Amino acid sequence: MAEPAEQAARCGFVALIGAPNVGKSTLLNALVGSKISIVTPKVQTTRALIRGIAIEGAAQLIFVDTPGIFAPRRRLDRAMVGSAWGSMRDADVVALLIDARKGVQEDDEAILRGLADIAAATVLVLNKIDLVEKPKLLALTQALNERAAFAMTFMVSARSGDGVADFKSWLAEHVPAGPWLYPQDQISDAPLRQLAAEITREKLYLRLHQELPYQSTVESELWKELKDGSVRIEQTIYVERESQRKIVLGKGGATIKAIGAAARADIAAAIEQPVHLFLFVKVREGWGDDPERYREMGLEYPRE
Ligand SMILES: Nc1nc2c(ncn2[C@@H]2O[C@H](COP(=O)(O)OP(=O)(O)OP(=O)(O)O)[C@@H](O)[C@H]2O)c(=O)[nH]1
Ligand SMILES: [Mg+2]
């Protein structure tokens, strides 16, 4: 597809916001047609802004996946939630996602109140419609539209892809006129080493329970292209305590081995190269208060 003549081109930023677990990352991946943001059944999976780029007709749509908005407790939570609110400042369209099965919850209420101060056009996206009967969707649409001035309501299933094309074509008509900002074949602006670290973090979230995923972070330390066309990747998993390190390793190293195998397969598929993945688990007490870790995650470090 050729880039349209300058006068026809459109380009805009679309922020996907919502409470944790409503399906923002799943929707981003569906919109872009490729897995660039990690997804798990757990809340607070996404930690920083992830951009995904799609072309729709004459428009380049730059979607911004954001961390879920909730009442933050830790410094890391504040950084995550702050980055989500910040995404709305630069957006041409803000899409509020609601989990249609759960309906409006406490976190959604806080977001609805905050939306009143947003200058960008806002649209409502009811997600997970595969789990809900139609009458409930209509009632939810009506109730939410009484709460905020949404330009449009979309009903989608990010998981099945239902409704995603309609959402995209509406956006293509409504982002501002202007030249494309990214090369037309680019779908993400995240460096591969960041994507690789996120994939490993996804596997940690899927394997570990309770607080452990939230008290860990992953960084790619080494990325070495080998002569045979494969890549050697070394990553460090930081945890808070020795007891957590033991859990991540598992009996005889079984847990880390399983995490590594799952991550390696996904990273290799994502970068289309054979991968040798080496994982190291380090205890770094208080990493959640270390500015360097925030830089690595692409988050601003909150002073308090
Ligand atoms: N049934 C169904 N499940 C969905 C749909 N969209 C997302 N999910 C599931 O909902 C869970 C959360 O999805 P995510 O995409 O990680 O949600 P998120 O809003 O990015 O979550 P955070 O990053 O934690 O804020 C996962 O188990 C998804 O598979 C959908 O349309 N239908
Ligand atoms: Mg997410």
Cα(63)–Cα(127) distance, rounded to whole angstroms? 16
Distances (CA, A) of 139 to 35, 143, 146, 148: 32, 6, 11, 15
Q: Show pLDDT as tens, one digit a residue, over the chain (304 residues).
A: 567 776 799 999 999 999 999 999 999 999 999 999 999 999 999 999 999 999 999 999 999 999 999 999 999 999 999 999 999 999 999 999 999 999 999 999 999 999 988 999 999 999 999 999 999 999 999 999 999 999 999 999 999 999 999 999 999 999 999 999 999 999 999 999 999 999 999 999 999 999 999 999 999 999 999 999 999 999 999 999 999 999 999 999 999 999 999 999 999 999 999 999 999 999 999 999 999 999 999 999 998 7
Of 263, 299, 288, 302, nearest to 66 by C-alpha is: 299
Residue from 16, 21, 40, 202 whose mutation best tests the ligand 1 pocket (most atoms within 8 A of CB):
21
pLDDT score for 4: 75
Task: Answer yes or no: is the C-beta of 122 below 6 A from any ligand 1 atom.
Answer: no
pTM for the model = 0.97
Cα(9)–Cα(177) distance, rounded to whole angstroms? 6
pLDDT score for 2: 66
Q: Whose C-alpha lies nearest to ligand 1, atom 16?
A: 39
Task: Answer yes or no: is the C-beta of 193 below 6 A from any ligand 1 atom.
Answer: no
Task: Answer yes or no: is the C-beta of 37 below 6 A from any ligand 1 atom.
Answer: no
pLDDT score for 1: 57
- Three-class SS state of 135: helix
**Per-residue pLDDT tens for 78-89?**
999 999 999 999
Ligand nearest to the CA of 41: 1
Phi, psi of 278 (to 5 degrees): -120, 120
Task: Answer yes or no: is the C-beta of 162 below 6 A from any ligand 1 atom.
Answer: no
Q: Note whether 214 and 47 are within 8 A (CB).
A: no
